[in-house]
Each structure stands twice: as structure tokens, then as C-alpha cells.
Amino acid sequence: MIPLVAVAHGSRDPRSAATVRALVDRIAAAAPELDVRVSFLDLSEPLVTDVLRDLVAEGHREAVVVPLLLGSAFHARVDLPALVAEVPALRATIADVLGADLEPVAFDRLAAVADVSDPGLGVVLAAVGSSRAAANEAVAAVARRWQSRHGFRAVAAFASAAKPDMPAAVAKLRARGASRIAVASWFLAPGLLPDRIAALAREAEPSVVLADCLAGDPRVVSLVLERYATALAGAARSA
């Protein structure tokens, strides 16, 4: 079968790469017939270009690259296609990012640490942030859906490149009457930015509760395999 190359952003924090590698190990275990490989855009090894070159050296001519990214921002739209293009001997199909299909996972992580039926609850959905407005709006739309469906107050906050930041988001929820604050995670793995989010949240509200990152949920494994199958079918139709 055509190999699946999972590619995450990469981080200087070793916990991030370890979490991604554990996720990819679970993907491989769930689909033992597949050749599943882990890779990174930057900062962690192996780099995606090295993995793609290894596939060529082994005689492969095709691969499906599945971005372990939550937003369709610069890394997904620019960085990854450019890196794939550096290995022209391999016909690599890039699957969609994981994106909004992880919304139920993020909500369940939240519900594990906070009473989502509490009318006094205020929820900050914390994400990395992007210079691309559409990527930030996708996160804000998740927060609005939660507010509409579940009745608690909810806003998005961003670790970098976008507003509001965590202190402003907490202040906004307090102004809207929230008496308890919880932070939901829009991060796949732990790392420096989630740590920054957590520190700022505790400064703004010492009693805040923090939901876990998303990679440990088995639905992430299923979604990656679904992205692979969809991309593979699309590649077959266009061949």
C-alpha cells in the first residue's frame, strides 16, 4: 500500500515530539497493513523532506502526507507544499488538516475537567494563533458553537499572532458574568505555547481548570486514517 507520512510542526519541547511519535505508533498499530512514518516540518526529527527522500531511496514512488495540524494556516498552505515539492521524485498527495473534525475531542477534554452544564462557566478555547484571519476565525467559530449549543460563555484566545490573548479573553468572560473559568485546548500536543497559555490563564484566574491536549484521544487516530483514505481516493480519481 501507499505509505502514510504523518507530519507535525515540531517543537523545541521534547514532550511535543514524544507525544506525536506516540500518536503515530498508535496509528501504525491500528492499520498494521500500512507503512506509517512520523515526520516534522521543523525543530524535531526526522524532517519531512528526509522521510520523503528515504521513501524514494527505498523504491517508493507515491505517498500520502497527512498534516497533524489543526488549522489551515501558513504551515499547511505554504510550508508543507514547498517541502513536498523539494522531493519531486515522489508523487506525494497532501491530505487535509485535522481541523474542525477534532471539535468533539476538544469538547470532551473540556467536559473531563469542567462542569459544562454550569451556568456560571466561562470557557476559553486556546489555540496557537495565525496571521491568516480565516484560521483564527475557524477557532472562534468553534467557541461560538459551544456557547450556542451548551449555554456557557465561550471565547477563543491565541498564544501568538492574533487577538484576544488569554488575559483579555478571561476578562471578557468575567465581564459577561462568568464566575468560573476553564480553558479548552486546541493543541494536539504539549509544548512551549500550551505552557504559555496555561501560565497566563493561572495569572488571570488562579482557580482556572485546564483541559488536556488532544493527541491522546483514539478519535485522532481514526481521523488521521480517514484523512489518508480520502486523499488516496482523490489521488486515484485524478490519476
And the C-alpha cell for 111?
467536559
Rounded Cα gap, residues 16 and 20, in angstroms: 6
Report residue 236's pLDDT band, with 50, 70 and 90 as the boundaries: confident
Domain contains 69: yes
Q: Are residues 139 and 83 in the same domain?
A: no
Rounded Cα gap, residues 164 and 140, in angstroms: 10
- pLDDT above 70 covers a percentage of the chain that reads 100
Q: What is the pLDDT of residues 177-217, one digit of tens each?
A: 999 999 999 999 999 999 999 999 999 999 999 999 999 99
User: Which DSSP string corresponds to 104-134?
Assistant: HHHHHHHHTTS-TT-TTEEEEEEE---SSHH
Report residue 237's pLDDT band, with 50, 70 and 90 as the boundaries: confident
Strands 121-127 and 180-185, sheet pairing: parallel
Domain contains 172: yes
Domain contains 156: yes
Bridge partners of 210, per DSSP, are 183
**125 contacts 154 by C-beta, under 8 angstroms:** yes
Q: Is the dihedral of CA 184, 103, 229, 236 positive or negative?
A: negative
Q: Are residues 140 and 181 in the same domain?
A: yes
Instruction: Give the per-residue pLDDT at 239.
Output: 63
Q: Are residues 36 and 82 in the same domain?
A: yes
Sheet holding 36-40, edge to edge: 36-40, 4-8, 62-67, 91-94
Strands 91-94 and 36-40, sheet pairing: unpaired
**Residues of the domain holding 139:** 113-210
Q: Are residues 94 and 137 in the same domain?
A: no
**208 contacts 202 by C-beta, under 8 angstroms:** yes
Q: Are residues 117 and 206 in the same domain?
A: yes
Domain contains 105: no
CA angle 31, 222, 189 (to 5 degrees): 105
How many domains are there within the chain? 2
Q: What is the pLDDT of residues 5-59, one digit of tens each?
A: 999 999 999 999 999 999 999 999 999 999 999 999 999 999 999 999 999 999 9
